[in-house]
Structure 1
């Protein structure tokens, strides 16, 4: 009654071979050429239609070829098996056709999926920018003589609320008035005594509440501790400079100073140049011992001191709670030198009151249409403005007419003025600084010689612009 197993397997094998032959294909059909041409002309937008056309016509060919192959099966295959093969083919065709129709109904495929509008695309970026604008940022850099670089510091780093520098190379003969930065308090400084070099100096924004904690400084180590106070939280911010090949006593004093800071039960942020390379991954150096002893986290991983033959991680950010920082990284070098340090930057999670700013409308007088301006003023009924005896009302009416016609004929825009920005820091310099920073990020990412050469070129242009504008 039934079909022999070997015969059934033979017939199924012939069916699969036929289907495989149809699927594989050895030559493009006329329909294939039409679909490819449509796809090339209309791009991916025509893809659902080409799929539907190709599918419908090919299923007809597939059905006919399979029928021919099945008819050639051995006569011992029963009609029941023959019908099952046709039913199986119909099921595959109907399911595939349903899937294609569903794809067409859900409006096709996007070639570049993303946000629906430009506004929604920029909203996430703007919200992230707002977070950084409303947070406190700090920066540390081994400056190697601060006096000749004050203009560059004011141009490059005025966006940070706390600026700390090591190797300030200051002496008592240099007064605080000679090293002031616009928008910052009188700097906190600790100069090296007895010999040249070294020294630590910290600048804090005018509207940031802080006091110096000299009780946390042990012996004669080069460090400054500040207690920075916000509305709901306090931090201890320490800046250290450790000379190369320092004695064990210096490191013991540093450990004691950090221990005193932690005993205040406040979150601490320690930064500075420690002159011990953290890229070596050794566990017996002093920084590793301090991290283990006080459960501190070191957040910088890229080299901060570059020479012609080597790179080292000397400038660090140590915190007892990494949650306090939104972001930490290195910045672009300030000058084009053979040996140089790069700044380390951190942004606190603590919200911060924005700088005092105000809006101002400016007119581009060199682009004004003054013929049209005079013509529109000539059409004003000036006599109608004098119907009242109120001199102030007449003056306001005349002023409003002049400004209204000026707004229509002279290009203008609204700018934001910040009181703590020096007047010589022009919009061109700010644009050049932003462009230089973008090129530096690209050079860090690609690490290619042309990108680094381009960065050095723009850095030199930027520094030249700053010095010329200042002078």
Structure 2
């Protein structure tokens, strides 16, 4: 960045076009023959930079260790509602009975394939909407993909151990509960780390 190389000029143009600012200005890479600013840190607002520093670590690397403290706020995004079908009270026999009693004459009598398909879909969707209606629910918290099906089963097992201990005050039950709780906590932490790592690679 200190010399007028082609890449430096392009990088300066990029900074200007995107309203970015370079935090550090001192050389960050050191050799016997040169000292160059090649470890770059950009921000959108210099006033948000609370502190910055760089440290020489010659034993480990020719690059300086750079650090900044940046002040920014992170707001939770709006959680979109989930629309799904309610199959809690779905009755297969009633659903089939409703399909059998529907008027399918248009499907067989019409010469138009488009009319056949429209009539077929209409009967099918009317029955589905009747026996498995659409249900909209709002999320109270962001999705937690690290809570896998196996982890959720273990959480249920842990919760099952809680009530017996409250009733009996048995130390053996308490020991089982604590063991299960600690195992679940470790598994969730590891699952969360793996998920965050995967999200980082995909970002």
TM-score (structure 1 length as normaliser): 0.20
Query: Which has the bigger relative contact order, CA under 8 A and spacing at least 6?
Result: 2
